[in-house]
Amino acid sequence: AYKGLWWFHIVLVLGFFAVIPKLRIRHVLMAIASTAGKPDVPMGKLRTIPMEEVEATEKIGAKEPADLSRWHLMSLDACMECGRCTEVCPAWSVGKLLNPKQIVQDARRAATNKLELAPSLSEEALWQCTTCNACVEACPVLIRHVDIIVDVRRNLVSEGALSGTAATMLRQTASTGHAWGAPRGEREKWMEGLDIPLCRDGVEFDVLFWVGCAGATDPGAVRTTKAVAGLLKKAGIKFACLGQEEACTGDPARRTGEEFLFQEKAMENASMFEQYGVKKVVTACPHCFNSLKNEYGDFGAQMEVFHHTQLLGDLVSKGVLLAAKPEKAVLHDPCYLTRVNEEVAAPRQMVEGIAEPVHKGKKTLCCGAGGGRMWMEEPTDQRPSDRRADELLATGADTVAVACPFCRIMLDGPLKARNEGIKLLDLAEMMAEKNGV
Ligand code: SF4
Ligand code: SF4
């Protein structure tokens, strides 16, 4: 009887292992393995593709599931189909095809059946992603949807699958070094009459003020740039700008899938940093901030990088500058500052008594501009910026405060269409007014 019982248990245990692949417990085991083995990479850092890899594989990015890393493949099996990623997706919430849970399911199916990724995941859905990382932040088993989406985009771009306005942005970035195609000289127009120190004049500086493409030429973003420069002067910070020696960080190109255009711009800018001995950088653009902070290290740039809210918020906490005190303002948090780089406190140090919308901090709601979406056609009834504008105005505010030039561009039209008198200001402008700048 004892021997019979022994065999019964052996069969039971072996049977359990045999059916694991078909059971839900498999996801639990894969979730444990995938979270334990998760690479220690910041949310805002995409993988740098070495040229040797392209020469060896003769392809860029992920065409087949086998082109994804072993960890990314394993993470697909960890998905418990909870749907939290889809609940928070700004594209899905306005009726687009993109559904991050489906992306994971389809990638898993493609891996099982050895299918190509782009047709399995839907090209239309892949281009709809703003790379806001809300799905990544929400996923209980730490799946990195954005890595997968961008890796497939990279392969599509390398095969010439991108056309239209986003392809124009890539050409402009390549030819002028400016994402909207402005000539180099226009990067210094905002400086006229302001006596802005330039690195090329040999001035001594502690902080490089990185202006960014929008910050140099978009009329709204230029107001932010002038406010930041004025506040830095008022606080006695020794800063300088690169002016026409600055080129796009390459962030829109990288997240659209043009990896080697990004690498070209990163090398160009990193060599400028080295030439001028840059140790600290401040920028008012969270996309530039993320790229410079998390991605430029791969190109030899070793420096401290600050978003303007961090530097100005710190000056407020030290009593050097005054915080703004608006009466009826609401704060819109940028994805690449508060979620991707987890900086929630700094914008709040710049302003006292500001209202907050339902989605805030790490759970902020995307304006729809990231991942190159700023340059892509948007159906008028499917704009994430409309949904965000409704939520911001529901607070009863007469002023919307932003901390990102992309958010400002995206929210401007939808806010004014709903309320002509609404004011849209960067936190730096609010502080500039308070400090008499
Ligand atoms: S990154 Fe944002 S837009 Fe893209 S799939 Fe995730 S939640 Fe949706
Ligand atoms: S949140 Fe993560 S586990 Fe849940 S459905 Fe999305 S990918 Fe799967």
Of residues 353, 348, 352, the one with CA closest to residue 338: 348
Q: Hey, is 49 helix, strand or coil?
A: coil
Does the beta carbon of 232 sit less than 6 angstroms from any atom of ligand 2?
A: no
Residues 6+ apart with CB under 8 A from 193: none
Cα(29) to centroid of ligand 2, in Å?
A: 15
Per-residue pLDDT at 160: 95
Residues forming beta bridges with residue 390, ordered by sequence position? none
Does the beta carbon of 103 sit less than 6 angstroms from any atom of ligand 2?
A: no
What is the predicted ipTM? 0.99
Instruction: Say which DSSP state 1 is in.
Output: -
Average pLDDT for the chain: 95
Give percent of the chain with pLDDT exceeding 70: 97
Per-residue pLDDT at 16: 66
The string of DSSP codes covering 150-208 is HHHHHHHHHTT---HHHHHHHHHHHHHSSTT---GGGGGGGGTTS---BGGGT---SEE
Mean pLDDT (whole number) for 44-66:
97
Confidence of residue 159 (pLDDT cuts 50, 70, 90): very high
Does the beta carbon of 27 sit less than 6 angstroms from any atom of ligand 2?
A: no
Cα(285) to centroid of ligand 2, in Å?
A: 30
Per-residue pLDDT at 35: 85
Task: Find the residues whose C-beta lies inside 6 A of ligand 1.
Answer: 88-91, 98, 100, 129-135, 145-146
Give 30-34 contacts, CB < 8 A, sequence gap 24+.
30/74, 30/75, 30/77, 30/78, 31/78, 31/80, 31/140, 31/141, 33/74, 33/78, 34/71, 34/74, 34/75, 34/77, 34/78, 34/141, 34/142, 34/143
Q: In the predicted model, is pLDDT for residue 4 greater than 90?
A: no
Q: In the predicted model, is pLDDT for residue 124 greater than 80?
A: yes
Q: In the predicted model, is pLDDT for residue 23 greater than 90?
A: no
* Amino acid, res. 72: H
Q: Hey, is 119 helix, strand or coil?
A: helix
Fold of 177-314: Rossmann fold (3.40.50)
Does the beta carbon of 84 sit less than 6 angstroms from any atom of ligand 2?
A: yes
Range with the lowest mean pLDDT among 13-17, 151-155, 290-294, 374-378? 13-17
Cα(86) to centroid of ligand 2, in Å?
A: 8
Mean pLDDT (whole number) for 210-232:
98
* Mutate which of 27, 85, 105, 136 for ligand 2 pocket (most atoms within 8 A of beta carbon): 85
pLDDT tens sequence across 302-347: 999 999 999 999 999 999 999 999 999 999 999 999 999 999 999 9
Give 186-192 contacts, CB < 8 A, sequence gap 24+.
186/216, 186/217, 187/211, 187/216, 187/217, 187/243, 187/244, 187/246, 188/216, 188/243, 188/244, 189/216, 189/217, 190/216, 190/217, 190/222, 190/225, 190/226, 191/241, 191/243
Cα(363) to centroid of ligand 1, in Å?
A: 13
Atom of ligand 2 nearest to the CA of 82: 4
Give nearest CA residue, ligand 1 atom 6.
Answer: 135
Mean pLDDT (whole number) for 247-264:
98
Ligand with smallest separation from the Cα of 27: 2
Mean pLDDT (whole number) for 373-399:
96
Per-residue pLDDT at 218: 98
Report whether CATH 1.10.1060 matches the domain 26-30+39-158: yes
Q: In the predicted model, is pLDDT for residue 38 greater than 90?
A: no
The Cα 289–Cα 267 span in angstroms is: 16
Domain boundaries defined on the chain: 26-30+39-158, 177-314, 322-434
Q: In the predicted model, is pLDDT for residue 103 greater than 90?
A: yes
Per-residue pLDDT at 9: 83
Atom of ligand 1 nearest to the CA of 335: 2
Per-residue pLDDT at 276: 98
Q: In the predicted model, is pLDDT for residue 95 greater than 90?
A: yes
Per-residue pLDDT at 20: 61
Per-residue pLDDT at 17: 67
Mean pLDDT (whole number) for 16-38:
74
* Amino acid, res. 367: C
Both tokens of 102, joined, read 């489906």
Of residues 86, 90, 44, the one with CA closest to residue 367: 90
Cα(84) to centroid of ligand 2, in Å?
A: 6
Per-residue pLDDT at 234: 98
Per-residue pLDDT at 22: 62
pLDDT tens sequence across 361-372: 999 999 999 999
